[in-house]
Amino acid sequence: MNTYLTDILQSGALMITTITGIVLLLVEANRRGRPATSFALAIVGLLAAGMTALIQMPAHGTGFSGMVQTGGFASFFAALFAVAGAMTIALSRSYLARIGWFRGEYAILTVFAVVGMMLIAASNDLIILFLGVELMSVCLYVLAGLARVRDRSNEAALKYFLLGAFATGFLLYGIALIYGAVGSTNFEAISAAFPAISAHIMFLAGAGLVVVGLSFKVSAVPFHMWAPDVYEGAPTTVSALMSTAAKAAAFSGFLVLFVRTFHFVGAGLNTVLAVIAAASMILGNVVAIAQTNIKRMLAYSSIAHAGYMLAGVAAANAIGLMGVAFYLVAYAFMNIGAFAVVSMVEDDHEQHLTLDDYAGLSKQRPLVAALMAVFMFALAGVPPFAGFFGKYYVFLAAVEGKMTWLAIVGVLTSLISAYYYLRIVVLMYFRDGAADVAAKPSVLTMVTVVLAALLVLQLGITPSVVVQAAQRFF
């Protein structure tokens, strides 16, 4: 009994988030028609979990019979997921009310999705990794189909679910093969057996299948097909959650498995990862140019960013680890911000989603336009915003990891990406638009977006906060 108590206290963020979810279930079951309470509770719970995670970051350890790790890496990502989750819930409040799907279940499912993400980052066993991926995915499938009277939302949910289930199958099969080769699902055991087993063909096949499964979740080429349709069809704030926290969670799975367990050498799969990364950067950025729908454009941009981050994973060194962690934090805030602005401009009937609708935004809503400009500059990687350092670190890691070609691809595709990001800025400031932009955004939404913008700026000026945390990950 007592050992479990210490375990529970050690993984405080996870427990607080889970309890928040359960409390929300009870609140929803016993009260009718006031989802606002649930949303407020969810935000409070997630922020508390984030705080706990930050406090517990210095204490490293494992818990629950070696099933999870605590502190360090797990806490860092737990804090990120909690904050990102809280921000999307805050953003959703007025957006969902506007489109008529302001329901308590949204908060519940987001909180449970965050639990799943935390489990992925904290996993110290393949079983936990799998369960975390499943918990996160199941919640996201439903959230994508939340607006179930909309055809596109249904399409998004179904597509995401069918392809996601398939990807989960790959992941599970890979896990089974790794277990078959090693005889254990525990990361420490796999890590210890790694030198002897790393060339075993069954192990390699397993690791390869895990790469497929996780690549789907981060929407890297060639497993990216779902992303544009799902991001377009899902409610905009759900797309924000999927493209930031969920992607970060899948990347934390990559890091925990390939960097920690496989000792940076990536099980000989570095080249594969590098090719996937290059393909994602090229395809994402090139296709994004051709998009006219802003959600689809952000989806392709998200594929490209997955490519940048995978370059950091493929580099397989300490800078790569730190760079990916930094990139994930920065990307989370800038993309949540970008999707938040999209959700403000979008009207109640899935209109005002084309790029042209942003023409002249600066005259109608100067603050919103300015914030969007910040996020676009950050996504393009323009200093002094956070995006710049993210790219800097992962490209540096690629060069250090003897993958200079990957860094060159990255820089070139970044230049391409500047075109479509800055086009939005140009449209907002230098074109006149007739479109009347949707209603005045709520205070809660504005506060959240401003906060996101400030964080993007802050991280761009003082990246050392994250860098220092990253040095004490494992």
List residues binding another protein (CB under 8 A): 4, 7, 18, 21, 25, 32-33, 63-65, 67-68, 103, 105, 108-109, 112-113, 115-116, 119, 125, 127-128, 131-132, 134-135, 138-139, 141-142, 145-146, 148, 157, 180-181, 200-202, 205
DSSP for residue 442: P
Taking the least distance from each CB to another protein, the nearer of 4 and 405 is 4
Taking the least distance from each CB to another protein, the nearer of 204 and 314 is 204
Taking the least distance from each CB to another protein, the nearer of 145 and 337 is 145
- Report the nearest approach of another protein to the CB of residue 307 (Å): 23
Give 84-109 as a 3 state SS string.
HHHHHHHHHHHHHHHHCCCCHHHHHH
- Report the nearest approach of another protein to the CB of residue 281 (Å): 24
What 3-state class would DSSP assign to 407? helix
- Report the nearest approach of another protein to the CB of residue 103 (Å): 7
- Report the nearest approach of another protein to the CB of residue 194 (Å): 16
Taking the least distance from each CB to another protein, the nearer of 25 and 435 is 25
Taking the least distance from each CB to another protein, the nearer of 100 and 366 is 100
Q: How far apart are CA 465 and CA 390, in angstroms?
A: 13
Contact 465, 79 (CB under 8 A): no
Taking the least distance from each CB to another protein, the nearer of 1 and 434 is 1
- Report the nearest approach of another protein to the CB of residue 104 (Å): 10
CA distances, 232 to each of 205, 240, 300 (Å): 34, 11, 11
To which residue do tokens 């050690």 refer? Answer: 10
Taking the least distance from each CB to another protein, the nearer of 136 and 310 is 136
- Report the nearest approach of another protein to the CB of residue 53 (Å): 18
Contact 370, 362 (CB under 8 A): yes
CA distances, 470 to each of 166, 277, 297 (Å): 33, 22, 31
- Report the nearest approach of another protein to the CB of residue 117 (Å): 13
Bridge partners (DSSP) listed for residue 61: 70
CA distances, 131 to each of 68, 120, 122, 166 (Å): 12, 8, 12, 15
Q: DSSP states of 350-370 as a string?
A: S-S-BGGGGTTHHHH-HHHHH
To which residue do tokens 């779902």 refer? Answer: 226
